[in-house]
Amino acid sequence: MWGIVRRNVRGAGGLSSQDLGNYMMGLRPLASAMRNYSSAMKEMTVRDALNSALDEEMAADPNVFVMGEEVNIYSMKAESPLFITKGLLDKYGPERVLDTPITEAGFAGIGVGSAYHGLKPVIEFMTFNFSMQAIDHVINSAAKSNYMSAGQINVPIVFRGPNGPAAGVGAQHSQCYGAWYGSVPGLKVLVPYSSEDARGLLKAAIRDPDPVVFLENELLYGESFPVSAEALDSSFCLPIGKAKIEREGKDVTITAFSKMVGYALKAAEILEKDGINAEVINLRSIRPLDRATINASVRKTNRLVTVEEGFPQHGIGAEICASVVEDSFGYLDAPVERVAGADVPTPYAANLERMAFPQIEDIVRAARRACYRSVPMAATA
């Protein structure tokens, strides 16, 4: 680069060596800034983040293998709905990228058994709705074995796949299992939002000695997010059980996970126009839950809005509410607001489906109520 600059400058006016040196030194900060800008602006889809995390962990540890429906041949073809395992068969072969029949109970059980013997299976459910077929192995075999063996048996297994509502697939394929698995001792439950979350948390899950339920969101797979140079390093790993403050604020705390983090951030932008400075917390982990970060935020803002796509009764928001009431009740200046999915099976019709799950405007209204800024219904008529 510097050779090209020298030729151009000399050809333009014949500067002295000293002037040329000063000119070149002046360009160095600009070039450095351009490099930093380029690095900071690198983007990656959630799908690619998950794929790269799997690839790197399989390369680093020969005990890691992937098993599930269509993770092998179909992951390379256009018919595959997910593409998370794309390219892994060519690199690691059919012994480590195992296609299974449509039998979740079978391959989940095989995975748990292999984990007993020191392997590190990553079990893919095409959707976590199908994990109901395998829940006995997830809970009774994987989650409880370490306790029941007095710590003699570790079960280093990851159960991963899309969780929560997709779009237009009806009640049996559209619900959030965060509260289901989050209530089970012996499991760790992770809920990534961004590409950095996906890479760092999946790596942490695979390296963990205990069973991890890894709840992704299918509608986020194609979304791109900025990824730092640190997150692209093969050694990158996020701590399990630590939330991230995505946006700092002082007037109201909004907790969310998975796709709802994006909705909460958009709601915060709208609230800012009303003079409400919202703090948005990306939970990242449901079990263990980062109660310390949540309570510290509430003690600062004195208000709380919880957001989730799951059912309201016995939900994640209810647990967060209980934690804040137990530890920070004296700091609350308003009742806790819960924004959750409707207490009905997911409708198939698109208009009803939209009404069944939280929207950005629902979060905005809840935060305004918490800040006593809600507009009376008569005023909007």
Active-site positions read: 104, 173
Q: What is residue 141's DSSP assignment?
A: I
Measured in degrees and rounded to the nearest 5, phi and psi for residue 256 equal -160, 165
Residue type, 12: A
Distance in angstroms (rounded) separating the CA atoms of residues 282 and 196: 12
Give one word for 186, left, alpha or beta, with left for phi > 0 and alpha for psi -120 to 50.
left
Report whether 151 contacts 186 (CB < 8 A): no
**Cross-sheet strand order for the sheet of 252-256:** 244-247, 278-282, 252-256, 304-307, 337-339
Q: In the block, which residue shows the tokens 């799951």?
A: 310
Side-chain-facing half-sphere of 196: CA atoms under 13 Å:
15
Cis peptide before 288 (omega within 30 of 0): yes
Give the Cα separation of 81 and 162 in Å (integer).
11
Beta-strand pair 285-287/188-190: antiparallel
Cβ atoms within 10 A of the Cβ of 290, count?
21
Residue with tokens 């907790």: 255
Q: What is the DSSP letter of 309?
A: S
Q: Which of 161, 150, 147 is nearest to 108 (CA)?
A: 161
10: left (phi over 0), alpha (psi -120 to 50) or beta: alpha
